[in-house]
Chain A
Amino acid sequence: MKALDIIELVKAEPLALCNERRLNHDYSLAFATDLMSDALAMIQDNFDHTVLITGLCNDQVLRTAEMLDIEFVIFVRGKRLPESSLEIAEDMGINLYSTRYTMYETCGLLYQNGVKGIHVNSLT
Protein backbone atom coordinates (compact mmCIF):
# COMPACT_ATOMS: atom_id res chain seq x y z
CA MET A 1 0.00 0.00 0.00
CA LYS A 2 1.12 3.54 -0.62
CA ALA A 3 1.77 5.59 2.53
CA LEU A 4 -1.12 7.86 1.55
CA ASP A 5 -3.53 4.90 1.45
CA ILE A 6 -2.32 3.64 4.83
CA ILE A 7 -2.80 7.10 6.32
CA GLU A 8 -6.36 7.21 4.99
CA LEU A 9 -7.10 3.64 6.13
CA VAL A 10 -6.15 4.27 9.77
CA LYS A 11 -7.38 7.90 9.69
CA ALA A 12 -3.94 9.10 10.76
CA GLU A 13 -2.99 12.72 11.34
CA PRO A 14 0.46 14.03 10.47
CA LEU A 15 2.74 14.85 13.41
CA ALA A 16 5.72 15.55 11.19
CA LEU A 17 5.59 15.36 7.41
CA CYS A 18 9.33 15.55 6.75
CA ASN A 19 9.57 13.71 3.47
CA GLU A 20 6.63 14.41 1.18
CA ARG A 21 7.87 12.29 -1.72
CA ARG A 22 7.63 9.21 0.54
CA LEU A 23 3.84 9.56 0.65
CA ASN A 24 3.62 7.80 -2.70
CA HIS A 25 6.11 5.14 -1.64
CA ASP A 26 4.86 1.56 -1.31
CA TYR A 27 4.88 -0.03 2.15
CA SER A 28 4.28 -3.76 1.94
CA LEU A 29 5.55 -4.65 5.42
CA ALA A 30 4.95 -3.55 9.01
CA PHE A 31 6.36 -4.19 12.46
CA ALA A 32 4.59 -3.23 15.68
CA THR A 33 6.28 -2.93 19.07
CA ASP A 34 6.81 -0.71 22.09
CA LEU A 35 10.22 -2.29 22.65
CA MET A 36 12.87 -0.66 20.53
CA SER A 37 15.30 -3.51 21.30
CA ASP A 38 12.85 -5.80 19.54
CA ALA A 39 12.68 -3.49 16.54
CA LEU A 40 16.50 -3.39 16.39
CA ALA A 41 16.58 -7.19 16.46
CA MET A 42 14.44 -7.28 13.31
CA ILE A 43 17.22 -5.77 11.18
CA GLN A 44 17.01 -6.68 7.51
CA ASP A 45 17.35 -5.15 4.09
CA ASN A 46 13.72 -4.32 3.25
CA PHE A 47 13.09 -1.55 5.77
CA ASP A 48 12.65 0.80 2.86
CA HIS A 49 9.19 -0.77 2.54
CA THR A 50 8.44 -1.16 6.26
CA VAL A 51 6.23 0.96 8.50
CA LEU A 52 6.91 0.96 12.25
CA ILE A 53 3.81 1.00 14.47
CA THR A 54 4.33 1.89 18.14
CA GLY A 55 2.75 3.29 21.26
CA LEU A 56 6.08 4.49 22.63
CA CYS A 57 6.52 8.24 22.36
CA ASN A 58 10.09 9.36 22.83
CA ASP A 59 13.26 10.23 20.93
CA GLN A 60 14.44 6.62 21.05
CA VAL A 61 11.72 5.63 18.57
CA LEU A 62 13.20 8.15 16.14
CA ARG A 63 16.79 7.01 16.79
CA THR A 64 15.73 3.39 16.27
CA ALA A 65 13.99 4.28 13.01
CA GLU A 66 17.08 6.19 11.90
CA MET A 67 19.42 3.25 12.60
CA LEU A 68 17.13 0.87 10.69
CA ASP A 69 16.46 3.28 7.76
CA ILE A 70 12.73 3.32 8.54
CA GLU A 71 11.10 6.50 7.21
CA PHE A 72 7.46 6.00 8.21
CA VAL A 73 6.26 5.66 11.82
CA ILE A 74 2.65 5.49 13.07
CA PHE A 75 1.90 6.20 16.74
CA VAL A 76 -1.24 4.50 18.04
CA ARG A 77 -4.04 5.61 20.38
CA GLY A 78 -3.73 9.24 19.34
CA LYS A 79 -0.33 9.66 20.96
CA ARG A 80 1.79 12.67 20.10
CA LEU A 81 5.45 13.52 20.42
CA PRO A 82 6.88 16.65 22.05
CA GLU A 83 7.94 19.50 19.78
CA SER A 84 11.65 18.77 20.39
CA SER A 85 11.18 15.24 19.03
CA LEU A 86 9.43 16.56 15.92
CA GLU A 87 12.49 18.70 15.22
CA ILE A 88 14.70 15.60 15.42
CA ALA A 89 12.36 13.80 12.99
CA GLU A 90 12.67 16.71 10.59
CA ASP A 91 16.47 16.42 10.62
CA MET A 92 16.16 12.69 9.95
CA GLY A 93 13.51 13.01 7.22
CA ILE A 94 11.11 10.59 8.93
CA ASN A 95 7.35 10.93 8.42
CA LEU A 96 5.42 10.62 11.69
CA TYR A 97 1.66 10.02 11.92
CA SER A 98 -0.76 9.43 14.76
CA THR A 99 -3.89 7.26 14.62
CA ARG A 100 -6.66 6.95 17.20
CA TYR A 101 -6.84 3.20 16.62
CA THR A 102 -5.16 0.84 19.10
CA MET A 103 -2.05 -1.05 18.08
CA TYR A 104 -4.10 -4.22 17.56
CA GLU A 105 -6.68 -2.45 15.41
CA THR A 106 -4.01 -0.64 13.39
CA CYS A 107 -2.17 -3.89 12.69
CA GLY A 108 -5.44 -5.65 11.82
CA LEU A 109 -6.48 -2.99 9.35
CA LEU A 110 -3.09 -3.01 7.63
CA TYR A 111 -2.90 -6.80 7.53
CA GLN A 112 -6.43 -7.03 6.11
CA ASN A 113 -5.28 -4.75 3.32
CA GLY A 114 -2.24 -6.77 2.34
CA VAL A 115 0.53 -5.30 4.50
CA LYS A 116 2.45 -8.28 5.88
CA GLY A 117 4.66 -8.76 8.92
CA ILE A 118 8.44 -8.95 8.80
CA HIS A 119 10.39 -11.95 10.00
CA VAL A 120 13.94 -12.28 11.24
CA ASN A 121 16.02 -13.89 8.55
CA SER A 122 19.64 -14.07 7.63
CA LEU A 123 21.42 -10.81 7.03
CA THR A 124 22.44 -10.07 3.49
Chain B
Amino acid sequence: MSTVLHEHYEVKPDDFANAGKASSAIKEQLKSLGLSPAVLRRVAVATYECEINLIIHANGGTIDMDIEEDGTIRLVFQDTGPGIADLEKAMTPGFSTASEKARAMGFGAGMGLPNIKRVSDTFDIQSSEEGTRIELTFVES
Protein backbone atom coordinates (compact mmCIF):
# COMPACT_ATOMS: atom_id res chain seq x y z
CA MET B 1 0.00 0.00 0.00
CA SER B 2 1.57 3.31 -1.00
CA THR B 3 1.78 6.27 1.33
CA VAL B 4 0.11 9.57 0.50
CA LEU B 5 1.50 11.47 3.48
CA HIS B 6 4.51 10.89 5.73
CA GLU B 7 5.45 12.88 8.83
CA HIS B 8 8.44 12.36 11.13
CA TYR B 9 8.80 13.71 14.66
CA GLU B 10 11.73 13.56 17.07
CA VAL B 11 11.00 13.29 20.80
CA LYS B 12 13.90 14.37 23.00
CA PRO B 13 14.85 12.51 26.19
CA ASP B 14 13.50 13.97 29.46
CA ASP B 15 11.87 16.82 27.53
CA PHE B 16 8.99 17.14 29.96
CA ALA B 17 8.38 20.78 29.01
CA ASN B 18 7.45 19.81 25.45
CA ALA B 19 5.71 16.53 26.25
CA GLY B 20 2.63 16.23 24.08
CA LYS B 21 3.63 18.76 21.42
CA ALA B 22 4.18 16.11 18.73
CA SER B 23 0.79 14.58 19.54
CA SER B 24 -0.86 18.00 19.29
CA ALA B 25 0.78 18.54 15.89
CA ILE B 26 -0.36 15.12 14.66
CA LYS B 27 -3.92 15.73 15.83
CA GLU B 28 -3.93 19.13 14.12
CA GLN B 29 -2.58 17.65 10.89
CA LEU B 30 -5.19 14.89 10.83
CA LYS B 31 -7.96 17.34 11.69
CA SER B 32 -7.03 19.42 8.64
CA LEU B 33 -7.51 16.28 6.52
CA GLY B 34 -11.13 16.07 7.66
CA LEU B 35 -11.04 12.91 9.78
CA SER B 36 -14.00 12.25 12.06
CA PRO B 37 -13.72 13.39 15.71
CA ALA B 38 -14.04 9.77 16.91
CA VAL B 39 -10.98 8.48 15.01
CA LEU B 40 -9.07 11.72 15.69
CA ARG B 41 -9.59 11.24 19.43
CA ARG B 42 -8.42 7.61 19.33
CA VAL B 43 -5.29 8.53 17.37
CA ALA B 44 -4.60 11.50 19.67
CA VAL B 45 -4.93 9.47 22.88
CA ALA B 46 -2.71 6.63 21.64
CA THR B 47 -0.11 9.00 20.23
CA TYR B 48 0.01 11.04 23.41
CA GLU B 49 0.42 7.96 25.61
CA CYS B 50 3.23 6.69 23.36
CA GLU B 51 4.93 10.10 23.27
CA ILE B 52 4.85 10.28 27.08
CA ASN B 53 6.32 6.76 27.23
CA LEU B 54 9.19 7.83 24.96
CA ILE B 55 9.97 10.65 27.39
CA ILE B 56 9.53 8.89 30.71
CA HIS B 57 10.65 5.32 29.95
CA ALA B 58 13.07 5.61 27.02
CA ASN B 59 15.74 8.10 25.99
CA GLY B 60 13.34 9.88 23.69
CA GLY B 61 12.69 8.44 20.26
CA THR B 62 10.93 8.96 16.97
CA ILE B 63 7.36 9.02 15.73
CA ASP B 64 6.57 8.26 12.10
CA MET B 65 3.08 8.72 10.73
CA ASP B 66 1.98 7.44 7.34
CA ILE B 67 -1.39 7.86 5.76
CA GLU B 68 -1.97 5.19 3.19
CA GLU B 69 -3.99 5.34 -0.02
CA ASP B 70 -6.97 3.57 1.55
CA GLY B 71 -7.03 6.07 4.45
CA THR B 72 -5.30 3.83 7.00
CA ILE B 73 -3.26 5.84 9.51
CA ARG B 74 -0.07 4.02 10.51
CA LEU B 75 2.01 5.23 13.44
CA VAL B 76 5.40 3.83 14.43
CA PHE B 77 7.07 4.77 17.73
CA GLN B 78 10.69 3.72 18.01
CA ASP B 79 13.19 4.18 20.81
CA THR B 80 16.62 2.93 21.84
CA GLY B 81 15.72 2.78 25.52
CA PRO B 82 16.24 -0.14 27.90
CA GLY B 83 13.24 -2.09 26.59
CA ILE B 84 10.35 -3.55 28.57
CA ALA B 85 11.52 -6.28 30.92
CA ASP B 86 8.18 -8.08 31.19
CA LEU B 87 5.79 -7.28 28.35
CA GLU B 88 2.95 -9.31 29.82
CA LYS B 89 3.11 -7.37 33.09
CA ALA B 90 3.39 -4.06 31.20
CA MET B 91 0.12 -4.85 29.42
CA THR B 92 -1.67 -5.43 32.74
CA PRO B 93 -3.88 -2.48 33.79
CA GLY B 94 -2.46 -0.91 36.94
CA PHE B 95 1.13 -2.15 36.51
CA SER B 96 3.60 0.73 36.34
CA THR B 97 7.34 1.33 36.58
CA ALA B 98 7.02 5.10 36.16
CA SER B 99 9.37 7.40 38.07
CA GLU B 100 8.28 9.92 40.70
CA LYS B 101 8.82 12.65 38.11
CA ALA B 102 6.44 10.93 35.70
CA ARG B 103 3.87 10.46 38.47
CA ALA B 104 4.12 14.14 39.38
CA MET B 105 3.19 14.90 35.76
CA GLY B 106 0.03 12.81 36.15
CA PHE B 107 1.30 9.61 34.57
CA GLY B 108 2.16 6.19 35.92
CA ALA B 109 -1.37 4.92 36.54
CA GLY B 110 -0.43 1.73 34.72
CA MET B 111 -3.04 2.36 32.06
CA GLY B 112 -0.78 3.44 29.18
CA LEU B 113 -0.12 0.31 27.11
CA PRO B 114 -3.52 -1.34 27.78
CA ASN B 115 -5.21 1.90 26.74
CA ILE B 116 -3.08 2.28 23.60
CA LYS B 117 -4.05 -1.26 22.58
CA ARG B 118 -7.72 -0.64 23.36
CA VAL B 119 -8.07 2.50 21.24
CA SER B 120 -6.10 1.32 18.19
CA ASP B 121 -7.35 -0.97 15.41
CA THR B 122 -4.09 -2.93 15.27
CA PHE B 123 -1.36 -2.94 17.90
CA ASP B 124 2.08 -4.49 17.59
CA ILE B 125 4.85 -4.16 20.15
CA GLN B 126 8.41 -5.46 19.94
CA SER B 127 10.80 -4.87 22.80
CA SER B 128 14.35 -5.93 23.58
CA GLU B 129 17.32 -4.53 25.46
CA GLU B 130 18.04 -2.46 22.34
CA GLY B 131 14.76 -0.62 22.44
CA THR B 132 11.03 -0.76 21.84
CA ARG B 133 8.99 -0.42 18.66
CA ILE B 134 5.24 0.06 18.68
CA GLU B 135 3.21 0.05 15.46
CA LEU B 136 -0.41 1.11 15.46
CA THR B 137 -2.99 1.46 12.74
CA PHE B 138 -6.30 3.26 12.70
CA VAL B 139 -9.12 3.25 10.19
CA GLU B 140 -12.29 5.33 10.03
CA SER B 141 -15.13 3.20 11.40
Q: Which A residues are within 8 Å of any B CB, using their own CB?
A: 34-38, 40-41, 43, 45, 47, 56, 58-61, 63-64, 66-69, 123-124
Contacts and interface: CB of A to CB of B under 8 A. Distances in A.
B108 interface: yes
A69 B45 CA distance: 10
Contact of B119 (A36, A43, A47, A61): A43
Interface in B99-141: 105-112, 114-115, 118-119, 141
B81 interface: no
16 contacts: A35-B108, A37-B115, A40-B111, A41-B114, A43-B42, A43-B119, A45-B41, A59-B17, A60-B106, A61-B106, A63-B48, A66-B24, A123-B38, A123-B42, A123-B118, A123-B119
Given A67-B23, A68-B41, A123-B119, A35 B106 contact: yes
Given A69-B37, A69-B41, A37 B20 contact: no
B75 interface: no
Interface residues of B, number: 29
Interface string B1-28: 0000000000000000101100110010
B49 interface: yes
A60 B20 contact: yes
Given A58-B106, A123-B118, A124-B141, 11 more contacts: A34-B106, A36-B105, A36-B106, A37-B107, A60-B19, A60-B20, A60-B106, A60-B107, A68-B41, A69-B41, A124-B38
